[in-house]
Chain A
Amino acid sequence: MKIRIGIDTGGTFTDVVAFEQQHDRLLFLKVPSTPDDPGKALVQGVGRATDQVGGDADAIHLLVHGTTVATNVILQRAGAKVALITTRGFRDVLHIQRQSRPRLYDMRLHRAAPLVPRARRFEIDERILYDGSVDTPLQVADLEPLIEIIKREQVEAVAVAMLHSHVNPQHEIEAGRFLEKHLPGVTVCLSHDLLREHGEYERFSTCVMNAYVQPVMQRYLGRLDEALRAESIAAPLVVMKSNGGVMAAELVANHCVQTILSGPAGGVVAGAAIAAHHSNRNLITADMGGTSFDVAVIEDGRVSFSRDAEIDGLALQTPMLDLHTVGAGGGSIGWVDAGGSLRVGPRSAGAAPGPACYGLGGNLPTVTDANLVLGRLAEKSRLAGGLELDVEAARRVIHDQLAKPLGMTIDQVGEGMIRVVNTTMVAAIRKLTVERGHDPRMFSLCAFGGAGPLHGAELAEEIGIGETLIPMAPGVTSALGLLMSNLREDRVRTFIKLVDQVDTDQVQAMFAEMSGEARQSLAFGPMTEPVFATTRRLGLRYHGQGYDLPVDVGSGLIDLEAICRDFHTAHEKMYGYSREDEPVELVNLWVSEQIDLQAVKLPEAPPGPGPGKSSSPAASAPSRSRQVVFAGQRHDTPVYDREALSAGVEFVGPAIVEQIDSTTMILPDQHARVDRYGQIILGGMSQRGTL
């Protein structure tokens, strides 16, 4: 028996997905998270999953982990004691950031403070120029006095970040060697090693963030390793990175900042797998939980990348999935503004005290309360945590705080809250689609997370998307995604030159060097003869512009003329015009190396009870019905159990589909069918106004 296990650590639950290869079996389970030591829940979940599959520790051959440890270290400012060594004259680059404030009109909102205080930001004499030439050589002896200070201050990690090191890293390398030699046990991070792109604030910030996260993450991974050994689990552990690929735990430990999006990345990878098996390979993933809504775009089966991200007010530039997060979820709170308008969010009741209907002390009207009073969520239904929903509490807070002051009915306000929170989510989707030049109507919407399937149909309608897809197990889609990912490392390098002055041999050589580095970092115990899949891209722009567009480069020799043609086409598509008379400029090189892990394929049959192979009429008969509000009307609405819906079943809304980890809502007259992967496909509705 061979078992592969994915473990996704969340705030409330740790989701576990186990795949048993021989019988092609998938098993899902949730164990309560243990925030003080997230590894405890992980080991426990792995144990239970193994038992339930009927195997033992030896049967496990791979563990894939999605973790929020790095993210939480940043959000809680709970990282290591860091020192920065930088070029003389520039220690305040981290403090000044980009000199702008977070919000234009909010004087009192302060910029995030640097992760390393000014007193531990040290300057040394050295200078490299923009072309890589050395203006002032580094004297490593100048570092000697710093060694004493760093030891005395018990610094755990040193970030070395110097100007123009992305062009010539020599000084950083020399300083790094010296520091490692004289500071045993101290983590040393070099900015060029994490990012080979221009923009000193972003590179310095990325380097410092890595130094801040790394000791904590290394300790966590170390403890995890011990705990797994104690359970005699010898299977290798790989960790999900922000780029949607995984890397061996012992290697990721040297680039921990790459795991900042480890948590939500699994859902996007699952979305890509779903897109690959779907008739429409353009998919928007919409992961809606209690407090946040994560959107990502998958174009032609491929995930999109962002390179200009920020975590909690601090710049982080590393190849990351282009995830956009807004504060909208089941816990978002409704309120009436001074002008008498209904607003929802951005404040959230979170998981505790949570929505009023949780009965945990929450007394503000939330989106979950609205879903409950409208009948979209079942009264007295039990959540995965065993919580029972109190509809009277929900009605009370909505009436007292919103319906009465607005002079509207509870139903009107409930629907209003849903529509208002939906506009926030729609704006987030538009940001990633329309603002990036993608037409949302070319996409299907894949809605998951605990609350996603309740809102998916309306979000799609609002934004003009024709089809909504609800995965088989919406509440654990992120964990499933972990088992669908491959080993992956991305490298980006700035290289600015007008295309007609570019020496293709030089570009080829740089690509080769970048590939070599990336492959080395994917080296992985059990792989004796790894097979690499390589993707290469060039970032191009019209000379003068500030933003480049990526153009794919085949595996063979580089044909710059053809690449420029592709660029003009891409620009036309994105912005509505191209300028073929204008000089095109090369901005950066991008290499992605992947090793196929023979990842889990999208499962065909739903798991759990219910054979799900036939489509007999009985299988599609609703289990019960209840009153649900749609467009101001209460409709007698059939309620289906998800387990009973087998592939091929078709029905027409209004309808509600319930399962342990989520509830799906289907609009009146909306057509629904279950595909061979057990996914509910919503669509086929006549064009209607949405107001």
Chain B
Amino acid sequence: MIDIDPITLEIMRNRWRSIADEGCAAMVRTAYSPNIKDRFDCSTAVALPDGQVLAQAEIGTPLHLGIMPAVIRSILDKFPVETIRGGDAIITNLPYPEGPGHLPDISMVSVVHHQGRPIAVVATAAHHVDVGGYAPGSMPLGVTEIYQEGLQIPPTRIISEGKIDKAIFGIIHQNVRTGRELYGDLMAQYAAARTAEQRIVELLSREAPDLVLKSMPAILDHAERCMRAGIAELPDGRYTFEDFMDDDGVTDDPVRIFLTLTIRGDELTADFTGTADQVLGPLNARITAARACVYYAAKAVIDPDLPVSAGAYRPITVIAPEGCVLHARFPAAIGNANILTDQRVVDVLLGAFYQVVPQRVCAACSGEMNLINVGGLDPRTGEYYNYVETYAGGQGAFFDVDGQDGIHTHLTNTRNTPIEVIEQAYPLRVNCYALIPDSEGPGKYRGGCGVVRELTCLGQRTNTSLGADRRKFTPWGLEGGQHARGAYGMVTSPDGSVRQLPTKVFATLSQGDRLRIETPGGGGWGDPQERDGNAIAKDIEEGLISRERAGSVYGLNRE
């Protein structure tokens, strides 16, 4: 153990985290695309030169956490750390062999030096609007290889001592639909890097540099102690759980996710052996993302306040055999794994943790992120537009409280785009944005309701990717709690004809078409017949549960 007193440790830990926070705030405030500026689909981390993450910004997405060390390592393999100068920025979005879960997540890495020695790495990841490929938003459905999903950028020095490489950027710009946004967002990532770098330099000038350097491994060790103490409290044993995704959007075959969770002493192993082989459609996850899922679930279950750093994950082992859907081989398509497969992996993890600490988990949540990715020419300006959003669903119920209605869960916490912004920025009209009555998973404590949003397309051709799941395998309940309603999508043409859409689809919609998206609810907890009468009465009064359902499912007017 490194010799550093507990008070200094706590102070230094807060400082490193606030450095990451400040970097992320600069990125959000200067970014161009709604994904980052409104929805915070971005992260900033500070790491040791070997890629071990020391601190991560509070906002941001848990998925990026598992990805950062691999991204940093892949960049440093090509650009040895001492060759990255101050003001340089290296970017990559290469998922294979180990990297981000999909191509729109571009990472940027820069290095902070002290007295000629690299002492820290600042890494950002941001979900860019579009990186080219088959469909706007670069997360197409129905594709089978990564080449269809967009531009792959190997580790590349895009900025040299503050100057952007115009030739390289020109190639990227030419191959994406919204080059202007991409440039603005890359600059925002650079603003984060420079801000964090400046704070680190200040820290080193104010404190004894030895102490600062010593604090870095000590912070990792402290996080490790916290995690081990948390795991040690859990009963030892082997626990298994499985769930299925409906299909991969190319074939109709269900996709099995199988987990064996082993807790022994102060260590935890999540072994996904038994999970389905990789699939044709773009649901193939990276092992980096599988790790992120396990880290998320462990922190959420053990203690949401556990310090976030690489040290916390030393007692955790993640196994996913190469060739399975969680560890696919090149060049499998991957684009929707982040929003579908990974979210389902968390449901499976919580299903296993339910057997360990039932009171700390909820029943299945919507289990997918309901991605909508719309693009085309805006008839008002003649320019290309691209609208990306993920829609919330219901949260699963707990042993003592209902799940929440219409809320993002687990791996995503991005905000919605205001209706007044959608209509101003894109050729779309929003007809409704509401909770879906009777979509909850019934239970003594009910799951949350799903959400419906209906959009009218005003452009001539509206290219639409929808990524959803949980129509066949709906969100499950626990302890006798029931399944929630699943995901639906449909299009109503101006002539009144209605067609149902598959959960995973790429479609070109015509002017006046109305696109309706309905997200799943959350699973229930306990027997619905035991639900408190006042709670049922309130649900009826609020119009979230119909009288019929209250009678048939909850046994209202029961004796």
Q: Which residues of A contact B (CB under 8 A)?
A: 88-93, 95-96, 98-101, 103-111, 117-119, 129-130, 163-164, 166, 198-201, 337-343, 406, 408, 412, 415-416, 419-420, 423-424, 427, 430, 434-435, 464, 496, 542, 544-547, 575-577, 579, 689-691
User: Cβ of B6: which chain A residues have Cβ within 8 Å of it?
Assistant: 340-342, 406, 416
* Complex CA distance for A125 and B231, rounded to whole angstroms: 55
Q: Answer whether residue B7 sits at the interface, using C-beta atoms and an 8 A cutoff.
A: yes
Contacts of B62 in A (CB 8 A): 104-105
List which B350-404 residues lie within 8 A (CB) of chain A.
Answer: 361-362, 391-392, 395, 398, 401, 404
A164 to B62, CA, bound (A): 35
A-B complex: 9 closest residue pairs judged by Cβ atoms: A546-B37, A89-B432, A544-B32, A339-B226, A416-B7, A338-B229, A105-B304, A99-B392, A339-B225
Q: Which residue of B lies closest to A118 (CB)?
A: B542
Please state if A691 and B29 are interface contacts (CB–CB under 8 Å): no
CA distance A579 to B9 in the complex (A): 41
Residues on A with beta carbons closer than 8 Å to the beta carbon of B454: 89
* B222 engages A430 (CB within 8 Å): no
At the interface, yes or no: B145 with Cβ under 8 Å from chain A? no
The one of B8, B222, B304, B418 that contacts A339, using a Cβ cutoff of 8 Å: B222
- Type the 1/0 row for B169-201, where 1 means its CB is closer than 8 Å to any CB of A: 000000000001100100100010011000100
Residue numbers in B under 8 Å from A415 (CB-CB): 7
* CB < 8 Å neighbour of B433 from A90, A408, A575: A90
Our pick among A91, A106, A201 for the contact of B434 (Cβ within 8 Å) is A91
- Give the docked Cα–Cα distance between A163 and B424 (Å): 12
Over the window 432-474 of chain B, the binary record of Cβ atoms lying under 8 Å from chain A Cβ atoms (1 yes, 0 no) is 1111000000000000000100100000000000000000000
Contact B37–A547 (Cβ < 8 Å): yes
Task: Find chain A residues with CB under 8 A from B153 CB.
Answer: none
| 8 contacting pairs across A/B (C-beta < 8 A) | A89-B434, A95-B405, A96-B407, A130-B420, A199-B420, A342-B10, A423-B11, A434-B199
Residue pair B304, A96 in contact (C-beta under 8 Å): no
Known A-B contacts A98-B415, A200-B420; A106 and B405 likewise in contact (beta carbons under 8 Å): no
Inside 8 A of A89's CB, which chain B residues have their CB? Answer: 430-434, 454
Contact A201 B418, beta carbon cutoff 8 Å: yes
Of B304, B307, B454, chain A has the most CB atoms within 10 Å of the CB of B304
Contact of A117 among B300, B406, B408, B542 (CB under 8 A): B542
Determine if A423 and B226 form an interchain contact, defined as CB atoms under 8 angstroms apart: no
Q: Contact: A103 with B195, CB < 8 Å?
A: no
Given contacts A89-B431, A96-B433, A118-B542, contact A575 B226 (CB under 8 A): no
B236 adjacent to chain A (CB < 8 Å): no
A111 touches B180 (CB 8 A): no
Q: What are the residues of chain B within 8 A of A435 when measuring CB–CB?
A: 21-22, 25-26
Interface size bucket, B side? 35 or more
Given A199-B418, A200-B418, A341-B10, also A576-B195 (CB < 8 A): yes
In the assembled complex, the CB of A109 is this many whole angstroms from the nearest CB of chain B, namely 8
Residues of the A chain whose Cβ atoms lie less than 8 Å from the Cβ of B303: 338
B407 engages A107 (CB within 8 Å): no
What are the residues of chain B within 8 A of A408 when measuring CB–CB? Answer: 5
Interface residues of B in 1-19 (CB under 8 A from A): 5-11, 13-15, 18
Q: Is B165 positioned at the interface, with any CB of A under 8 Å from its CB?
A: no
Could you tell me the distance between the alpha carbons of A406 and B544 in the complex, rounded to whole angstroms? 52
Instruction: Say which residue of B10, B413, B423, B543 sits within 8 Å of A423 (CB atoms).
Output: B10
Bound state CA distance, A164 and B542, in angstroms?
A: 26
Does chain A have a CB within 8 A of B244? no
Which of A91, A110, A198, A545 contacts B32, CB < 8 Å? A545
In the assembled complex, how far is the CB of residue B404 from the closest CB belonging to chain A, in whole angstroms?
Answer: 6
Complex contact B38–A546 (CB within 8 A): yes
In the complex, chain B residues whose CB is within 8 Å of the CB of A91: 434
Q: Are A163 and B419 in contact (CB under 8 A)?
A: yes
- Chain B nearest CB from A348 CB (Å) reads 16
- Contact residues, B289-325 vs A (CB, 8 A): 296, 299-300, 303-305, 307
Closest chain-B Cβ to A411's Cβ sits at a distance in Å of 12
Cβ contacts under 8 Å, B299 to chain A = 105
Across-interface contacts of A117 in B (CB, < 8 A): 541-542
Contact B22–A420 (Cβ < 8 Å): no
B304 touches A99 (CB 8 A): no
Interface: B546 (CB within 8 A)? no
| Across-interface contacts of B398 in A (CB, < 8 A) | 107-108
CA distance A464 to B5 in the complex (A): 23
Check if B208 is an interface residue, CB within 8 A of chain A.
Answer: yes
**Interchain CA distance A544-B226 in the complex, whole Å:** 42
Q: Are A545 and B31 in contact (CB under 8 A)?
A: yes
Q: Give A166 to B420 CA distance when docked, in angstroms.
A: 10
A544 & B180 in contact (Cβ 8 Å cutoff): yes
CB closest residue in chain A, given B539: A118
Q: Tell yes or no: B30 within 8 A of A by CB.
A: yes
CB proximity to A under 8 Å, residues B195-238: 195, 199, 202, 206-208, 211, 222-223, 225-226, 229-230
B310, chain A: closest CB distance, angstroms: 15
* Bound Cα distance from A628 to B433, whole angstroms: 62
Query: Are A690 and B392 touching (Cβ within 8 A)?
Result: no
Given contacts A119-B543, A337-B226, contact A96 B416 (CB under 8 A): yes
